[in-house]
Amino acid sequence: MRKLSHNKKRNLGLVYEFLTREVTRSAVSGDRTSGAKALAIVAKHLSEGTELYPELSLHRQVMATRGVSERLARRIVDELKAAGIRAASRRSLREQAKSELIHEINRSLGADLFDRFRISDYTAHASVSILMARGAGGPLDEGVELARVEDHLIEFLTSAGQQAPRYDADASLYAYRTAVGLFEQELGRELLPEQADLLREFIRTSLGGNPAPFERTFERQRTALREVLRARRADDVFVKDADMAKRLDEAIKDLESLTAAPDDESVERLMLYHTLQREIES
């Protein structure tokens, strides 16, 4: 009988837990450098749009599901294996992305990060990862071991558990303060209230929060900025200077094409348009 293997360094659910707990630890201890590095790794390797995000997203959805019927739990187990099969064509890309993630963690935070924190429901995390990997083409002689993994996850899903928070409040607060400092350093002045609001919602979403408040904030600000810049088009400085008028028109056009995507580029661009508005009005 083949023994099923599990590598916690390649288990994205566990890696995400390790990184967000490092952010929280840094917030408590005042270790700004380590927390900023952990946040940068999450944004680079595990945020929406990355190669690893779909697997992490499914993993976290499963871990947040508790107290369901046995029938539904078995359907979830089947879906995990099916997801592994569907993702088989990108397996080499995904494994390479995991190797790059591990390498950056080892280099930036130290290899001991993977042993630094005790994770509750560790076995359930392992079961989710094993079943997804098994669906992607695991050997057939796993027998009783695979059945045990499935049964453990079914027991986890059907048991009543405390709903895991969608995001870590301490990590979110630390990330927000760190990001504010970085943006103010880059811009050379304090953030506008609108910029701070946008950044706060972006951080909450990046750490697993509900994306709806970010999307509403982004769209509200985008619309308001567009209207303000359109109104400024009639100012003498733009009427008399064709080159400046052309640049303003390009900015307005770019604002119209911006979408409320929770990524660094979209947020930075909208924040820069807030800065443009401040400079025009000063």
In the three-class reduction of DSSP (H, G, I as helix; E, B as strand; rest coil), residue 182 is classed as helix
187 class by beta-carbon count within 10 Å (0-12 exposed, 13-18 middle, 19+ buried): middle
Q: What stretches in the chain show pLDDT beneath 50? A: 1, 136-137, 140, 163-167
Mutual orientation of helices 193-206 and 264-281 as an angle, nearest 10°? 180
Helix (H) or strand (E) holding 77: helix 70-86
Q: Which two tokens stand for residue 46?
A: 């595990």
Amino acid letter, 193: P
CA atoms within 13 A on the CB side of 126: 16
CA nearest neighbour of 9 among 132, 99, 133, 108: 99
Interatomic CA distance for residues 134 and 274, integer angstroms: 49
pLDDT at 166: 46
Of 158, 182, 207, the position where a domain reaches its end is 158
What residues make up the domain containing 153? 8-158
Tell me, yes or no, whether 183 and 154 share the same domain. Answer: no
Of 111, 132, 158, the position where a domain reaches its end is 158
Tell me, yes or no, whether 23 and 145 share the same domain. Answer: yes
What's the Cα-to-Cα distance from 72 to each of 62, 76, 79, 152, 184, rounded to whole Å?
A: 12, 6, 10, 14, 49
Of 158, 177, 200, the position where a domain reaches its end is 158
Record the pTM: 0.60
Tell me, yes or no, whether 137 and 176 share the same domain. Answer: no
pLDDT at 165: 44
CB 212, CB 166: distance < 8 Å: no
Interatomic CA distance for residues 261 and 277, integer angstroms: 22
Tell me, yes or no, whether 152 and 175 share the same domain. Answer: no
pLDDT at 239: 84
pLDDT at 102: 97
The string of pLDDT tens digits covering residues 14-49 is 999 999 888 877 766 767 788 888 888 988 899 888
Interatomic CA distance for residues 55 and 86, integer angstroms: 11
Mutual orientation of helices 193-206 and 169-187 as an angle, nearest 10°? 140
pLDDT at 87: 86
Residue 126 forms part of a structural domain: yes
pLDDT at 168: 55
> For the chain, what is the mean pLDDT?
82
58 CB contacts (<8 Å, ≥6 apart)? 80, 83, 132
pLDDT at 1: 43
In the three-class reduction of DSSP (H, G, I as helix; E, B as strand; rest coil), residue 176 is classed as helix
Tell me, yes or no, whether 23 and 100 share the same domain. Answer: yes
Tell me, yes or no, whether 137 and 17 share the same domain. Answer: yes
185 CB contacts (<8 Å, ≥6 apart)? none
Q: How many domains does the chain have?
A: 2
Mutual orientation of helices 12-29 and 53-63 as an angle, nearest 10°? 80
Tell me, yes or no, whether 99 and 124 share the same domain. Answer: yes
Task: For residue 136, give the DSSP letter.
Answer: T
Tell me, yes or no, whether 22 and 138 share the same domain. Answer: yes
Residue 48 forms part of a structural domain: yes
Interatomic CA distance for residues 197 and 128, integer angstroms: 36
Interatomic CA distance for residues 3 and 141, integer angstroms: 9
